[in-house]
Structure 1
Amino acid sequence: MANPGEQVTDVALTEDRLIVDLADGRSISVPLAWFPRLLLATSQERENWEIAGAGFGIHWPDVDEDLSVEGLLRGAPAPQAKAKALVS
């Protein structure tokens, strides 16, 4: 069962980090490189996000990216980020 404290309250992006604030006061900060669609997005596309999945996810409609709090807490990069790392 989902913990209401793990619902997204805010999202911020820097040039190289994704920071997600949760209802229980925690902040998750992960490398933007984990999410190639966001890394390659414009600032305007990155800022156009919405809370999804009853508060437990984030959606960027302009780049068709969806992230879950569960995945962020597990430290799980996007599958395409893993594949890119293997090729590099």
Structure 2
Amino acid sequence: MNISANLTDERVLDVRFDDHSLIVDLMDGRTISAPLAWYPRLLNARAKQRAVLETCAGGYGIHWPELDEDLSTEGLLRGAPAAKAA
């Protein structure tokens, strides 16, 4: 039996920003930090716009309604930057 499988909870606990990063705390105590440069909508948004967010997908996603931006904890854990616009 894999004990670590029982201890992970990838749901979002908190979201914050510093000058260069998106920082997401997970329910299981882990913290993910990703460069804002990976997410142009967040990078170019005002602080007030970034502050308007909601969790979605049962807590496994983050949605910024004013920015039309959605991220998943799965993608953040994979280190996946936003897809480039076609």
TM-score, structure 1 normalization: 0.85
Return the structure number with greater helix share: 1
Which residues of structure 2 form unaligned runs of 5+?
1-6
RMSD: 1.7
Higher CA-based Rg: 2
Aligned residues, how many?
80
The residue number in structure 2 matching 1:66 is: 70
Aligned 1:1-88 pairs, distance under 5 A: 5-80=9-84
The 8 Å contact of residues 36 and 80 in structure 1, kept in 2 or not, is answered as no
TM-score, structure 2 normalization: 0.87
Q: Between the two proteins, what is the percent identity of the paired residues?
A: 59
What is the CA distance between 1:80 and its match in structure 2? 2.0
Which residues of structure 1 form unaligned runs of 5+?
84-88
